[in-house]
Amino acid sequence: MLDNKVLVIGAGLAGTEAAWQVANAGIPVILVEMRPLHSTPAHHTSDFGELVCSNSFGALSSDRAAGLLHEELRTFNSLIIKTADNFAVPAGGALAVDRSKFSNSLTEVLSKHPLIEVKRIEQLDIPPKETITILATGPLTSDSLASQIKKFTGIDSCHFYDAASPIIYGDSVNREIVFKASRYDKGDPAYFNCPLDKDEYTTFRKELIEGEQACLKDFEKESANFFEACLPIEEIARRGVETMRYGPLKSIGLWNPKWGNLFDKENRIKKRPHAIVQLRKEDLEGKLLNMVGFQTNLKWSEQKRIFRMIPGLEQAEFVRFGVMHRNTFLESPKLLLPTLQFLKRKTLLAAGQITGTEGYAAAAAGGLLAGINASLLFNKKSPVIFPNESMIGSLMNFISNKNKIMASHKKSKFQPMPASFGLVPELVCKIKDKKLRYKAYQERSSKVLKGFKRSLENSSLKDQCLLEII
């Protein structure tokens, strides 16, 4: 019987955050993680919070949806966002991290916490209702547990195919061709840019489309169901001649300093490459570089051949090739309350990508809310709902039964959702200017969350669920 402890299943971003929040409320936690006993098609280590796709948490600025979510997480002392801040690497206007140091730190902090017991086993079933449980197994939930979840909910899981970009050695890049710059010269020149002229772009696109694909389990038995926010680069190429140039290969705002004086504004357009492949640092030293937007399902041999056609990458050495895998998520609006409790069992909560949130910060937000509410349930107190005016609250409302449209229609197609200003309520006084409107969203969120946090503290919950990070 585990009724004297909270059980957290899964040590990804959501599970890590949830375990931290519960433990820092003074409540014992058992954190179950199946790796390295059982791995997944996307993971490469047994570390907690491993980032399997990009190393970016999205935009830094709080007047952007992702940046606002970061600020909200900082307000509630999120371990995930604090660790991301500690191990940030230059990425222009984005929050990107040294993924190895990031995950190593999370693993060390939680493993040493006196109230967290780590169990490296595979969870095969859903614990009894007497045990307060947080289900944070992510989109790569094991088949055994997934079948138990399906049996418990009575609803088939949804799924899509997701992919990860290749990572290359920084010293294998030709610096005579590649140039450093950030778009529109904002901030430090954080990206390495590989310029393509029109002929190079056309040839590259042709090879991408004709490249041999890797076989996926059950992939050819059903129509391809890609996640639109993370399409394979070859799929983007198939959608049109110019599609990549308006997506991951867009050169707008980037000027090659090797082609002359950048201050000659009249001729700047001549200095802009036809297309750009961007490389982002995986670590502070730039020893490892991520190919931005190059999620792929090409065979590894094809990746090596085709990606070496990119100017500057002729001798590129690959640390990790891109991979594609099946992601599973719940039809959450029919299953979850905005507290992240299951409608059928209030002692069972879900958090992270398995609930249908998209993005690292969104996963952490789910873990934070689930951790706070599990702590409250453990202490016989009522769980809370974040204000709808906050990005956390609007995301949780979208994936829960507060999303009335999705929850009520049997044939509605629920899809994962990232942080977006399209989810938050309209302002009382409408603002046409987009930048001013987003800033107003940020200011409103800050105001309501200060009041929300103060109400929790005034309810004597400060020592239970809002302790400062050590």
* Pair 362, 411 in one domain: yes
* Pair 225, 140 in one domain: no
Q: Side chain identity at 382, as an amino acid letter?
A: S
Residue pair 297/209 in contact (Cβ under 8 Å)? The answer is no
* Pair 147, 255 in one domain: no
- Alpha carbons 8 and 148: distance in angstroms, whole number: 16
- Range among 169-178, 259-268, 365-374, 416-425 with highest mean pLDDT value: 365-374
Query: pLDDT for 428-449, tens place per residue?
Result: 888 988 889 999 999 999 999 9
Number of domains, the chain: 2
Is residue 434 in some structural domain? yes
Residue pair 201/246 in contact (Cβ under 8 Å)? The answer is no
Q: Which residues contact 175 (CB under 8 A, 6 or more apart)?
A: 312
Q: Kindly report the average pLDDT of the chain as a whole number.
A: 86
pLDDT at 222 > cutoff 50? no
Residue pair 197/205 in contact (Cβ under 8 Å)? The answer is no
Is residue 226 in some structural domain? yes
- Residue closest to 470 by CA, chosen among 66, 79, 50, 26: 79
pLDDT at 107 > cutoff 70? yes
Query: pLDDT for 1-50, tens place per residue?
Result: 456 899 999 999 999 999 999 999 999 999 999 888 777 766 678 889 99
Is residue 219 in some structural domain? yes
Is residue 1 in some structural domain? no
Residue pair 277/173 in contact (Cβ under 8 Å)? The answer is no
Summarize the confidence of residues 360-377 as an average pLDDT.
Answer: 96
Indicate which CATH number applies to the domain containing 228.
2.40.30.260
Q: Among residues 324, 342, 360, which one ends one of the domains?
A: 324
* Pair 176, 296 in one domain: yes
* Pair 319, 338 in one domain: no
* Pair 149, 246 in one domain: no
Rounded to the nearest 5 degrees, what angle is found at the Cα of 299, between the Cα atoms of 44 and 56?
45
* Pair 123, 198 in one domain: no
Q: Among residues 324, 355, 384, which one ends one of the domains?
A: 324
* Pair 320, 342 in one domain: no
User: What is the percent of the chain with per-residue pLDDT over 90, rounded to a whole number?
Assistant: 55
Indicate which CATH number applies to the domain containing 81.
3.50.50.60
* Pair 349, 368 in one domain: yes
* Pair 244, 147 in one domain: no
More confident call, 116 vs 55: 116
- Residue closest to 194 by CA, chosen among 293, 267, 95: 293
pLDDT at 242 > cutoff 60? yes
Residue pair 192/254 in contact (Cβ under 8 Å)? The answer is no
Is residue 223 in some structural domain? yes
Residue pair 29/22 in contact (Cβ under 8 Å)? The answer is yes
- Alpha carbons 218 and 284: distance in angstroms, whole number: 39
Is residue 54 in some structural domain? yes
Is residue 376 in some structural domain? yes
* Pair 295, 336 in one domain: no
Is residue 470 in some structural domain? no
- Alpha carbons 418 and 414: distance in angstroms, whole number: 13
Q: Where does the pLDDT of residue 272 fall: very low under 50, low under 70, confident under 90, or very high at 90 and above?
A: confident
Instruction: Note the Cα 170 to chain centre separation in Å.
Output: 24
Dihedral, CA atoms, 460, 377, 27, 50, nearest 10 degrees? -110
**Containing structural domain, residue 203:** 164-324
- Is residue 300 within a helix (H) or strand (E), and if so which, with residue range? helix 300-307
- Alpha carbons 249 and 411: distance in angstroms, whole number: 36
* Pair 112, 24 in one domain: yes
